[in-house]
Every structure is written in C-alpha cells, then in structure tokens.
Amino acid sequence: MKKILSAAFVLLLWAGAASAGAVERPGEIAGFHHAHRKAIARFGVITDIHHTNKPDTADRKYSASLAKTEHFVDAMNREKVDFVIELGDFVDTLAGGTDPVQNLGEVEGIFTSFDGPHYHVLGNHEFDNVKREDLLPRLDNTGIPAGQTYYSFDRRGIHCVVLDADYTVAEPHRPFDMQTPGNSFWTWKDAWIPQEELDWLVADLAGSDLPTVLFTHQLLHRESTEDHTIKNADVVRGILEADGQVLAVFSGHDHRGEIAFRNGIHYLVLEGNVGMSLDWSKVSPTGGLDAKHDSPFTLVEIEEKKDGAFSGLQTYDVNLTGNAQQYTFSDEVIVRR
C-alpha cells in the first residue's frame, strides 16, 4: 500500500495568474500543452451547470448553461483529454412549461457529445423535477451499468472513484428522489454515505495500486456540521487516509470554490459553472453570459515525474488549468511505491 509522505503546493488564483504566467487571459483556456509534462492522465471537470428554464438571477445565469457546456465539450475535444466528468447539479428546478426529462436531455445531449468517455456525479438538484426512476437511466456513464450511482474506473495511469452522497442523514438513510408536498424528506444540507457504499469503497481502494482521485458533489474536507459537507465525512476521510493512495478529491456544491489540504490529501472544490455565489456584474464585463469567458471549468493533468523516482518513492504532479474564473493550481505529491 502506498503512503503519502509529503506534498508541496502552490495556488495561483486569477488575481495573480497573469503575473505568474499560468494563464494568459481570463475566459479562455491557454497554455494547456506543457512540453515538460508527460501526463499519465488528462481530464476535464465541470460542476454545477444547473440547466433550467428559470429566469436568470444576479449570481446565476441559467440561460447560458447550454452554451457554456458546449464550450466545455469543445475545449476538451480540442485537447483530446482522456475523459470528462461533471460533479452534479446538472439541472435545476423548472419554472414550468418545460418537460423535465426534455430539459435533462438537452444538457445531457451536449455533454455526451464529447468524443470520449464521460461521467456524472449525482447532485441534489437533479431530483428537483425528475423522479429517480426517470433520472438514472438517462445519465450515461461510459462503461458503467445504467442506474449505478457510485462506481470506479481506470483511465491510463490513474484510478478514479465516484461517490454518491445523496442519502438522508436520518435513518434509514433514504436515497434522494423527487419530492412532493406530501413527501418532503430531504434538504440540500442532507448528505450521507451509507454503510454499503463505505464497504464498497474500502474494497475498491484495496483492489487498486494506482494513484487515485475521487469525485463527489458534496464536500469531504470540512467538519460534518457545515452545511455543504457530507455528514459522515470523517468516516470517509479515514478510509481515504488509511488507503494512502488518494492524491486529490474533486467536489462541487459550494459554488465559491476552495482548496484545502488535510492529512496528505488535496481537496479541490471547483467554482460553479452557473455562478460563484457572487454578483456576475462584479466579476465579469459580460455579466456572466459569455459562453467562453464566463464558463468556469478546469483541465486536470496528472504527471508521474520520471526524475522523482528514488529509494522506492514516486513523485506526482497534479496540475489544474482553469477556464474563465476557475482557479489554476499545481501541487507535488510524493508516494511510496
């Protein structure tokens, strides 16, 4: 089993990206190709698209969701990444006049037009207008049986794990479903990993000797009393830390974004594509409606450094290049072979 020994990391937010040379201009990804990098995996991540026909608000521009998703897919196709993944809240509550299955199909059709494997993480808003029995068969995850909400896959040199925390905190930890006035049993603050999924996670991680990345909608690194956090996150973190192979956890849900480092693992919360819980007019000259310059998403490159193998140790770089308001980030992690 591998053990994370140390990590060095540097965070380049957009405020300092120009001077650092990490990003050429906000709103348009540049410099994806790095001659010194020999990535063992390259993938695109987007979160909190919230496609719906609801009117736009100051901090959420729903009307641009399809155009922004299309820009993400086009960018990832140009970069020929290994796969793409969205981290939940794919759709949102409808204002009326639109079939919820049709609304889901509109954004799913664009997302799955990526020329390669594509994956979903369940968020809470998926169940706003769509019954579970209608939703799950319509979310296509490459090579994964329909309806399976937590799963894993290998791509090139990494192991990827998708978790589903859409369960009530109250026992018997019911899976989320569309609510009705007479059957309202969960809120957006609910998030729980049931025992069956925890047991699966332990076995899955034990069965892989590859560097691992996890994908969740709700957060894992904060204390369990925090609103956006999985309420048994401490148990999940204990499993990840004991395994020792996890390089990073990618999440959405809190649109503001965040980077944290806890007990050898990086937790990367990406900014919401629909908005970052800020008035768009204060952060964008186009008010959040430009499909290129107002579409936060990221390209992730994981590199095994050939000059970083010594005395049974191996060094990996985890590099994020953000589009638009999404942050850019790079870290180095040393693991034992």
- What's phi and psi for 62, nearest 5 deg? -65, -35
pLDDT one-digit tens code per residue, 106-145: 999 999 999 999 999 999 999 999 999 999 999 999 999 9
Higher-confidence residue of 37 and 170: namely 170
> Which residues lie below 8 Å from residue 285, measured CB to CB, with a gap of 6+?
none
Q: With 70 as the cut, is the pLDDT of residue 3 above it?
A: no
From 32-46, 62-76, 281-295, the region with the lowest mean pLDDT: 32-46
Strand arrangement, sheet containing 151-155:
151-155, 158-162, 212-215, 246-251, 265-269, 258-262
pLDDT one-digit tens code per residue, 257-278: 999 999 989 999 999 999 999 9
- What's phi and psi for 3, nearest 5 deg? -130, 125
pLDDT attached to residue 11: 34
Give counts: helices (H), strands (E), the chain. 7, 13
> Which residues lie below 8 Å from residue 76, measured CB to CB, with a gap of 6+?
44, 84, 114, 299
pLDDT attached to residue 178: 95
Average pLDDT, the chain: 88
Q: With 90 as the cut, is the pLDDT of residue 12 above it?
A: no
- Mean pLDDT computed over 161-175: 97
The structure's pTM equals 0.90
Pick from 119, 63, 131, 64: nearest CA to 88? 119
- What's phi and psi for 288, nearest 5 deg? 85, 10
Q: How far apart are CA 293 and CA 29, in angstroms?
A: 9
Q: 215: number of CA atoms within 13 Å, CB side?
A: 25
pLDDT attached to residue 219: 98
pLDDT one-digit tens code per residue, 69-89: 999 999 999 999 999 999 999
Contact 304, 37 (CB under 8 A): no
Q: With 60 as the cut, is the pLDDT of residue 6 above it?
A: no
Higher-confidence residue of 79 and 28: namely 79
pLDDT attached to residue 218: 98
Taking every pair of Cα atoms in the chain, the longest distance, rounded to a whole number of angstroms, is: 64
CATH 3.60.21.10 fits 4-25+38-336, yes or no: yes
The pair of three-digit structure tokens given for residue 308, joined into one six-digit string: 């970083």
From 7-11, 33-37, 46-50, 242-246, the region with the lowest mean pLDDT: 7-11
Share of the chain above pLDDT 70, in %: 86
Q: How far apart are CA 47 and CA 90, in angstroms?
A: 7
Pick from 212, 198, 218: nearest CA to 161? 212
Each domain of the chain, given as residue ranges in start order, spans: 4-25+38-336
Cis peptide before 172 (omega within 30 of 0): yes
Q: How far apart are CA 216 and CA 122, in angstroms?
A: 8
pLDDT attached to residue 314: 78
> Which residues lie below 8 Å from residue 1, measured CB to CB, with a gap of 6+?
243, 244, 245
pLDDT attached to residue 181: 78
